[in-house]
Amino acid sequence: MSTPSVPFIDLKSQYVALKSNIDSRIQKVLDSGAYINGPEVTELEQKLAAHTGSKHCLAVSSGTDALLIPLMALGIGPGDEVITTAFSFIATAETIVLAGAKPVFVDIDKKTFNIDTTKIEKAITAKTKAIMPVSLYGQVSDLEEINALAKKHNLFVIEDTAQSYGAGYKNKKSGSMTTAAGTSFYPAKPLGCYGDGGAIFTNDDKLQIAMKEIREHGSEKRYFHTRLGVNGRLDTIQCAILLAKLERYDWEVEQRNHIASKFNEAFIGLDKVDSQFSTPFVKSGNKSVWAQYTLTLTHRENFQKKMQEFGVPTTVHYPMTMPDQPWYKENTPCQADITQSRWAANHVISLPMFPDMTEQQAQIIIDAVKKSVELSMKES
């Protein structure tokens, strides 16, 4: 008998569940011929703005552009510094450098993996223009503290919500509480399209206009360019797909929370087997969308090998901090103590997480984790 296996993310079963809705929406775009800037773009922007509680939304070509465009629109560039976390996907730091500014890295909170707000003020200088917190793994950063610091020092805040679309923070939603926020619709993100995509959120009318112009080559009107811009539009077809997916997104978030609770409960006591073992910590007042369900443990490589033998794939998000990446080490050296970020880079591991996971699949994962933690401790 072959070992049953579980995918890391099952996008195909999600498609099957939404097939008729998605197919008919795609067909409508194909028939319309409005492949760029079609009516689905505005429809999606209005729905996403309403869903997050933001005044404005702008659909863009990727999560990376969703961070770069606000930086450009806010006039952040050479000579400026932007404070961000040391522990994220590289696009966070990359966009700061692409805008021409310098990323200033701050360590993370050991429990949430988000930027440690107690260490931000030390990193502020006369050159600091903005703070770019990342709401990692689906949980919103400590925005109340970050917004208070930004207000005190007259800084912008750009929330990287690539992993936290729809996440709750007190009574608000990720993306609605800062100067601007950028999310990603990369297929594996909580809300994903079928290619690259992203969106920007803001409550600021002027900033929205500037970002809209930058999205379209900096044009105020056709063939009249008052700003430096990019080609940052999101295809109409991707917007049509997202409109279908948005219809059951809140249900998906509940499913993800259900699976996460099941995992949390099943893993109680594993810290007695491995003292470094921990399940994800969600702060009270936060509602995670579980972009990742991420554990920490001691013998990661061995654990990962055992999990694979049990038919369960795992992924490390992320094996290196951003300032330790070769290009950044050389070009944007980090002065800060980033001990917690480095510890996380060496100990985190994410389990499969997707809304259509069956109870059997969840059980296969649970059994594999329990056995793999024990085996990997025993063998070392």
For ligand PLP, the binding residues (CB under 6 A) are 62-64, 88-89, 91-92, 134, 160, 162-163, 184, 186, 196, 198
Q: Give bridge partners of residue 348 from the DSSP assignment.
A: 296
Comparing C-alpha atoms, which of 51, 93, 103, 114 is closest to residue 292?
A: 114
Spatial CA neighbour of 107 closest among 90, 124, 123: 123
**What is the helix, strand, coil percentage profile of the chain, to 5?**
45, 15, 40
Name which of 162, 180, 177, 198 is nearest 82 in CA terms. 180
Exposed/middle/buried for residue 307 (C-beta within 10 Å: 0-12, 13-18, 19+): buried
As measured in angstroms, the least distance from the Cβ of 137 to ligand PLP is: 9
Nearest residue to the partner ligand PLP, using Cβ? 63
Give the nearest distance from C-beta 104 to ligand PLP in angstroms.
Answer: 17
Give 89 or 105: the residue with its C-beta nearer to ligand PLP. Answer: 89
Q: How far apart are CA 277 and CA 274, in angstroms?
A: 5
CA distance 323 to 123: 15
Judged by beta carbon, residue 80 or residue 196, the one nearer ligand PLP is 196
Shortest Cβ 374–ligand PLP spacing (Å)? 32
Which of 310/328 has CB closer to ligand PLP? 328
In the bound state with ligand PLP, the residue whose beta carbon lies nearer, of 350 and 361, is 350
Min dist CB 105 to ligand PLP, Å, is 14
Q: Please, which residue, 186 or 194, has the CB nearer to ligand PLP?
A: 186
369 by DSSP, 3-state: which? Answer: helix
**C-beta of 40 vs 196, nearer to ligand PLP:** 196
Amino acid code (one letter) for 110 = K
Of the two residues 177 and 377, which places its CB atom closer to ligand PLP in the complex? 177
Helix, strand, or coil (residue 243):
helix
* CB-count burial class (<10 Å; 0-12, 13-18, 19+) for 237: buried
CA angle 243, 247, 251 (to 5 degrees): 140
Smallest gap, in angstroms, from Cβ of residue 103 to ligand PLP? 13
Q: How distant, in Å, are the alpha carbons of 64, 72, 91, 99 from that of 68?
A: 6, 6, 9, 7
Q: Which is nearer to ligand PLP, 54 or 92 (CB)?
A: 92
Using DSSP bridges, classify how beta strands 56-60 and 286-287 pair: parallel, antiparallel or unpaired: unpaired
Give the residue with the Cβ less far from ligand PLP, 62 or 147.
Answer: 62
Nearer to ligand PLP, 176 or 372 (CB): 176
Task: Report yes or no: 262 and 366 within 8 Å, Cβ to Cβ.
Answer: yes
**Least distance between ligand PLP and beta carbon 203 (Å):** 21
Least separation, in Å, of the C-beta of 322 and ligand PLP? 10
The C-alpha atoms of residue 128 and residue 143 are separated, in whole angstroms, by: 18
Taking CA 211 as the corner, what is the angle to CA 163 and CA 183, rounded to the nearest 5 degrees? 5
**Neighbouring C-alpha atoms within 13 Å toward the C-beta of 9:** 16
Measured from the CB of residue 66, what is the shortest distance to ligand PLP in angstroms? 7
